[in-house]
Every structure is written in C-alpha cells, then in structure tokens.
Structure 1
Amino acid sequence: MNETTGPTPDQRTRVAVVFGGRSTEHAISCVTAGSVLTALDRDKYDVIPIGIAADGRWVLEADDPERLRISSPQELPAVDAGRAGVTLARTETGAGLVVSEPSSPPRELGDVDVVLPLLHGPWGEDGTLQGMLEMAGVRYVGAGVLASAVSMDKAYMKVVLADAGLPVMPSFIVTAREWATDRDAALTRVEPLGYPLFVKPARGGSSIGIGKAHDRDGLTVAIEEALRHDPKVLVEVSAEGAREIECGVLESLDGGVETSVPAEIRISGDHEFYDFEAKYLPEEHTELDVPARLPDDVATRMRELAAEAFRAVGCEGLARVDFFLLPDGRLVVNELNTMPGFTPLSMFPRMWAASGLEYGALVDRLLQLALQRGTGLR
C-alpha cells in the first residue's frame, strides 16, 4: 500500500499535473493539461504543473492554461524546456518535489498527495511513468503499469480482448526489422487481409502516423510512414462502411464500473478517416453526435462491451473504448485508451457531460479515486 498519508482535513490536496512528454502526442498532452488546469478547483487543490519536455527533461511549468491552447497545426503548444528543472524524490512521508536552477541550491516544494498524469502515447501512457510513480510510492490517476502497457500496444491489446471473447478486427504486425530484411515477405503476409487496409503505429495515438492503403504501393508508403513513429506497425482490415462510436468508462467510488452514453464521430469532406485535424481543429467536416443515434439495444450492448473491455485489460480510473458498428450490425472493439484526451473537443468529457457528470466533477472524481487507492500490486 502507499506509504503517503495524504492531506489532513484542513489542507488542500496537493496535485502534480504532469504533461507533455517525449511522444509525438506532446502537443495534445499540453492541450489536455490546459483544459484540466482551468477546471481544477483551487479552493480544494494545490496545483503544481510539471512539464516533461520533448527531450525528457522535467520542468516546473507555469500555471498558465492559455499558453497551452491549440490554434492551428502550425502553432502547437509545447513544454518550455528552459524553465527550472524538477524531480520527484522519495521522502520519509511519501514523495516530494525538488526544484533545481542554475547557480541556486535545490529547493523543496513539499510532498505530493497525488499525480494526475496527462500524458498521451509512449513514455507516459504506456506504464513507464506509472512504474516510476509506483516505485516512488505516490498515488496517481488512472490505470496501473500492466493495463497501461497493454492498452498502449494495440497488438497486445487485441490479444487480451480476443482472449476475453471480445470482437476485434483481423490484423498483422510488421516490425522495422522485418521491413528492413524482407519487405516483400511482409507485404505478401499481410495482403490476404484484403484491401483497403489501415496502417497504424502500434503504440501511437491522436491518429499520428496512420494511413489507409488501397493497393500494394499505398501499403508500402503507409508502412514506411508508420515506421517513422514506431518500429512496430499494426496492419488491419479496414472497417468499410462502419460507424465510429465511442463509450466512456469510469470507476465509481464504491469500486463499481459505470459507462457513459455512447457518442458518434461523423467525418465528411476531405477526411477519409478521423485524422489529427478532424480530431483537434474545429471545422465543418467533423460532426459529433452526443449521444449517438442508436437503437436502445445496440447502445446497451455497446456499454456492456465497454465495461467488459475495461475489466479484461485490468483498467482503473477511466478509459475510452472505441468501437466500429459494422453495416451488418456487428460491434467490434477498435481500441481502448487509458488516458483519453480532455481537450475542448475531446469525446470523453463530452460523453460524461451528456451522462450527467460535468467536466469539473469528472476531474474531481478521478482524483478522489486515486486518493482512495494505494500504490503497489493490485
């Protein structure tokens, strides 16, 4: 169990909001952090913003949500790597923050009660940060080490979900080593899946590095692009004609699991799929139906499958489960996100708002869940 005692009743809970990171989703993590920093109740929480720069340095960031907003693909926010460095150090009572600046002695900021890790992608959402926090003995929001790692790796996630009896799209993995040694064999192995095919970095997100291939030449280009982001690439059957629908999952304070109303993403115009611009930049070609227009029995079944996927992977706190509703009526689990985006356009908070849990209360729920849960094996 966590050795950190937590705040006393007359103290504000000290929350370290960690964002940025080394992955290609650095900017989206910053945007998520800006939204959460705005929503946190400062009468209840003492907030310490910690940025992880693209090169991996930890810094004490400014508590300035406006700087973390996104306006265009050319103006993405980033952690200011020039700010004072910060480390999380083990103390007698738990884990504390130490700030280091050139020509100044280190100064302590005091113990941290809970960490809110708002990192997306590898080196943050994949169990690496969670493992460090476990070693430091500090509570944190969201899934533990194994659930984070499995959910981040789409290939292993499919294995776990399929073993639990959940429906997934057929797929193959192509590695950088295989591509470098015998790309023809790799192409010949995956092509029987049938075109069109989707190609994804196995451990990516925010639609970065994803491509759709309609023939062998397109498949080659898509694999090479995905390999620029991850040495492990997932090639899977395209769910042609499917509706993309998502469902939020949230733990309740009594240990149960709740699901939100499902929501649908509809893409038109020049977007062949839900790419980066469609996700994060407001425009006329993206429409979100919250809640999704579904028959009651389909919505009910989707919520049941979302809860099953959450349990199968061993998630905690929260997750967003993405589905394909195929033209023949079948539901297929596309993927599971253990730290879904909290940007103004993000589906997770929208779905919970439509389910009766507003943004600020949602963030508060996540922190309360983390505070009542210890660290260690669970």
Structure 2
Amino acid sequence: MKTNIYVIYGGKSVEHEVSLKSASAVINSLDKNKYNIYPIYITIDGIWCPLGLLEGKIEDPDELRKTSSNTVSKSIGDFLLHQINDNEKNIVFPALHGTNGEDGTIQGLLELLNIPYVGNGVLSSAVGMDKVIMKDIFAKHNIPQVKYASIQMPSWKKDKNKVYTEIEKKLDYPYYVKPANLGSSVGINRAENREEFEKAVEEAFLYDSKVIIEEEIIAREMQISVVGNDNPKASVPGEFIMERPFFDYEAKYIDGKLIPVIPAKLEPEVSDKVRETAVDAFKILNCHGLARVDIFVTDDNKIYVNEVNTMPGFTNVSMTPVLWGATDGTTYAELVEILIQLAFEKHEEKNNLLNTRS
C-alpha cells in the first residue's frame, strides 16, 4: 500500500511565496509509485485548501494556489475530517517557512494528531524561530556568537530613551536591528548612530513585539546543512559572494547577484570546526530531521554562530539540497526520502514512550 504524504505550504508568513517554490520542488521529487501526494495550500489568511490527490507534475508553483470561502477553523476541521485517511500510512511534509509554520505551531497540531511529520518538533522549531531565546540558550552553552541585546515592546513603549541608552551601554555601533521572529529579509536595518537606531527599532516593531540588536561583525557567512536524528551529520560549508570586489556582512542586505561557492574556500581545519559547531548548535536546540546553521567566519578564522533555520528553503537550487549534493552526491529526491524516513523513525521512537505510569 502506498504512503499518503500531505505537503503543506503557503501560510500566514512573509515567506509565503518561497514556501510555494519549496513545496513544488518537494512534490515533483516524490515517487508516485510509492506515495499518494496530497498538496494542502494555506492561504495568506490562514485558510487550509486541499487540492486533492495529485496526478501529474507541477510546472509552475502558482498551480499550487487555491481559493476558499471557508473560515480558518472550518477549513482545518474539513481537512481533518475529509482528507486524513486514518487507517492508512500517513506523513506530513510541512514545507512552511517563517511564522505560523516553522515556529512550532503546525508541529504542535501534528503532535496532537499523532501524525508523523518531516523536520523539527515543537520545541526546536519555536526556539529556532525566536532569535533572542536561541541566542540566550547558545550563551548558556558557550556557543560563540556576536554580542547582542534585545528589547521587549512594553518596556520600549514605557520609556524609549531609557531603552536606547541601556543598549548603547551594552553594545558598540554599528548595529543590526531585527525583528526577533522573522526571516532575514524583512524588517532589518543597520544603524550607525542613535537616529538610525531609533528608526530601525520603530520599523522592527512593525513585525514583532520583540527586537534583537547585534553588533556588526565583518565576516563571511557560511551555511551548513545538518541532517539526522540522534547522530546528525553536517554538510560541507557553502557561502554566497557578490559580483563585486568584496563581500562583507553589510553586503548581504544590498541588492546584487549572489553567487554560491560550494564548498566554501576555507582551510581544512576551519571547515572541520565550522561543521562541528553546526552539529553542536543542532544538538543544543534539540533539532532532528534537518536544519541549516549559518556561521560567520572572520579573516582571522574566528567563528560565530549567527542562527539556525529549522525549515530552510527547499527548492532545487536552495542551499540545503545543493550542499548535500556537493558533500556526498545525495540528490534532491534522495534527500527528501532521507528526511521522510527520519520522520518515521522519530515518530516511532516517540510512540514507544509511556504516556501513563507503569
């Protein structure tokens, strides 16, 4: 009997469009002799829209869109009542990025339903999304990272000048100011002085109720994919460079053509250290399945963990699958299959735990 795989994508997130591209690639990689594929589109308003059993290939990610007059709660109820085949083998691939999908919300629902799903669980997903909590945990475990501070909206509203002054005592300009729970493409600004800092914080609070501030560091940013459950393995590091004379931290926020370099040009011992640190970060956040760990490497080969993405972009040209192709020749379809099997293994392990007193 075939396995039913429900690929969930879209969602209430600024990364909605990227999610459609990831889902399209995942769906097209699946073996239809092995899987019954059910795409589930979540609109930008949060309404779940099943597309039914998929027969062919997806030529354009826009084919995965669907409209509905349902409410959010009714659409989820309809999905649970009419789409999930309880007496068959099921798994969910949540190809969701950012808030309302990569942050533990979907994972919590799937845990309650006792349905196996690809990727990280509730805790690691939530912590990986919240940059402040993630960095606080790394600090407890002596994971190297740049100096940072955070601002909560209530204290900021109460006395803005006091908050700004306290941050300036802790950190040296220039800063990068970010919403704590969004991807790096939205709400981020660089600040060299108080005036720019105030404007950056104002904008960041449009997207989240918590803001993180980091000291600028001039470094190359490595991306490493980590895959596994109890014994995770790290890919070779990769990086993006710009078609310009130099590329530093600031340049990643300037429009330009990015060129992937895989593997990144690092001394062997530095590359090994970067990979080891990526696995350490993965384990500390209790990750399983997959994650992409972003790590800064300075000119004098000091390393600093930037962040962990618990459901990174997953198109055919995204770093995660490309890194594994360069590491050991794993194809996109093979990587998807590995992640599915890891999900079933983790689900079985959880189901073997006792839920009552012995």
Say whether the fold is shared (TM-score over 0.5).
yes
Tell me the TM-score normalised to structure 2 length.
Answer: 0.87
Residue 74 of structure 1 is matched in structure 2 by none
The answer on 1:288 being equivalent to 2:277 is no
How much has 1:199 moved relative to structure 2?
A: 0.9
1:158 maps to which of 119, 135, 141: 135
- Find the counterpart in structure 1 of residue 211 from structure 2: 233
Distance 1:324 1:233, change over 3 A: same
Quick one: which amino acid aligns to residue 128 of structure 2?
S
AA paired with 1:82? S
Match of 1:321 in 2: 293
**Identity of paired residues, percent?**
38
Q: 1:155 to 1:56 in 2, by over 3 A?
A: same
**Which residue number in structure 1 is paired with residue 221 of structure 2?**
244
Offset, 1:215: 1.6
- Cα gap change, 1:178 to 1:78, in 2 (>3 Å): farther
Corresponding position of 1:110: 85
Q: 1:198 is matched with which residue: 160, 173, 176? A: 176
Quick one: which amino acid aligns to residue 58 of structure 1? Answer: W
* Deviation, structure 1 residue 274: 2.6
TM-score by structure 1 length? 0.83
- Measure how far apart 1:110 and its partner are: 2.1
Any gaps of 5 or more consecutive residues in structure 1?
Answer: 1-10, 70-76, 90-95, 100-107, 279-283
The answer as to 2:46 corresponding to 1:56 is yes
Q: Which moved more, 1:217-226 or 1:261-270?
A: 261-270
Query: 2:307: which partner in 1?
Result: 335
Q: For 1:335, give the aligned amino acid.
A: E
**Relative to 1, partners in 2 of residues 1:36 and 1:327: Cα closer, same or farther, differing over 3 Å?**
same
Instruction: Output the CA distance in 1 between the equivalents of 2:130 and 2:352.
Output: 21
Cα offset, 1:153, TM superposition: 0.5
User: Does the 8 A contact of 1:60 with 1:83 survive in 2?
Assistant: no
Whether 1:265 and 2:269 are equivalent positions in the alignment is: no
CA-to-aligned-CA distance 1:161-216 (integer Å, 9 cap, x gap): 12122111111111222332222112112223111111111011142211111222
- Alpha-carbon distance in structure 2 between the residues aligned to 1:157 and 1:376: 28
Residues 249-287 of structure 1 deviation map (CA, whole Å, 9 limit, x = unaligned): 0006xx421110100122356994434x86xxxxx6212
Matched, 1:353 2:320: no
**The 10-residue stretch of structure 1 (290-299 or 80-89) with the greater mean CA deviation from structure 2:** 80-89
Name the amino acid aligned to 1:87.
I
Match of 2:356 in 1: none
The answer on 1:82 being equivalent to 2:68 is yes
SS of residue matched to 2:168? helix
User: Shift in Å at residue 141 of structure 1?
Assistant: 0.8
Report how far residue 26 of structure 1 moved: 1.4
The alpha-carbon deviation at position 25 of structure 1 amounts to 1.4
Match of 2:81 in 1: 98
The equivalent position to 1:210 in structure 2, one of 169, 182, 188, is: 188
8 Å CA contact retained: 1:33, 1:65: no
Q: Please say if residues 54 and 79 of structure 1, whose CA atoms lie closer than 8 Å, have aligned partners that are also in contact.
A: no
- Counterpart pick for 2:199 among 221, 226, 236: 221
Mapped partners of 1:146, 1:310: distance in 2: 12
Query: Alignment RMSD, CA only?
Result: 2.5
CA contact (8 A) 1:168 1:332 kept: yes
Change in Cα spacing, 1:80 to 1:308, as seen in structure 2 (3 Å) is same
Partner of 1:40: 30
Q: CA shift at 1:86, angstroms?
A: 4.7
Q: Which runs of 4+ in 1 moved over 3 A?
A: 61-67, 83-89, 96-99, 267-273, 375-378
User: Could you tell me which amino acid in structure 2 is paired with residue 66 of structure 1?
Assistant: E
1:51-90 deviation per Cα after TM superposition (whole angstroms, max 9, x unaligned): 1111111111375633326xxxxxxx9843337875368x
What's the CA shift string for 1:29-64, capped at 9, x where partnerless?
112111111211212111110111111111113756
Residue 24, structure 1, aligned to residue 14, structure 2: yes
Deviation at 1:319, TM superposition (A): 0.6
1:183 aligned partner, one-letter code:
K
Q: What does residue 59 of structure 2 align with?
A: 66
2:125 equivalent in structure 1: 148
Decide whether the 8 Å contact of 1:16 with 1:115 is kept in 2.
Answer: yes
1:105 maps to none
Residue number among 334, 337, 347 corresponding to 1:364 in the alignment: 337
Task: Give the deviation of 1:377 after TM superposition.
Answer: 9.6
| Mapped contact 1:207–1:274 kept (Cα < 8 A) | no
CA drift at 1:328? 2.8
Structure 1 counterpart of 2:110, from 133, 136, 148 = 133
Cα distance in structure 2, aligned partners of 1:38 and 1:251: 23
